[in-house]
Amino acid sequence: MLNFLNKREKCFCAFCKNPRSIYTRKHIDIVSLVLILVVGLSFGYLHSSSPGILEVVFMSTMVIFGEVLFQLRWRVSIICKYCGFDPIIYKRDPNLAASKVKVRLEERKEDADAILGPPIILPRQSMSSKKGVLISRQV
Ligand SMILES: [Zn+2]
């Protein structure tokens, strides 16, 4: 019924390349504000015949609570559930993001349910294109 509130976008993890879906809305939108206004006004008419300061406080609290919930939902959906890669942390500190992925992969090794899950395609470290130096020719 309220699918427009749960708009998701399919994408791939930047680290393990598994398909997943993330929430696209980071902040509360105008539709949610209107819904909160309707709920607040109906609460006000249930409480008394005209909306007063209590309903305004209630609607303001609901807007703040909704914004926090939208941001938490978006933030949790950004983190890959397979490998634990967090692109937000990666932008700030790549070493911290790498350590979190290592911890998640260690936990995954011991998890029996992860064996039946999709495989993680880890990026390969390629050898540098620089060839070795022949020491015998330098003498
Ligand atoms: Zn991943």
Estimate to the nearest angstrom the gap between the alpha carbon of 80 and the chain centroid: 7
Q: What is the mean pLDDT of the chain?
A: 83
Separation of CA 2 and ligand 1 centre (Å): 29
Separation of CA 14 and ligand 1 centre (Å): 7
| 20, 10 Cβ separation under 8 angstroms | yes
Separation of CA 48 and ligand 1 centre (Å): 52
Paired with 21 in beta bridges are: 10
Strands 19-23 and 8-12, by their bridges, are antiparallel
How would you write the pLDDT of the chain (139 residues) with one tens digit per residue?
566 667 888 999 988 888 889 998 889 888 888 888 888 778 777 777 666 788 888 888 888 998 999 999 999 999 998 889 999 999 999 999 999 999 998 988 888 888 787 778 777 766 665 666 666 666 5
In tens, the pLDDT along 8-21 reads 889 999 888 888 89
Residue that is written with structure tokens 């919930």 in the block: 69
Residue 123: predicted pLDDT: 73
The pTM for the full model equals 0.71
| 3, 24 Cβ separation under 8 angstroms | no
Separation of CA 68 and ligand 1 centre (Å): 25
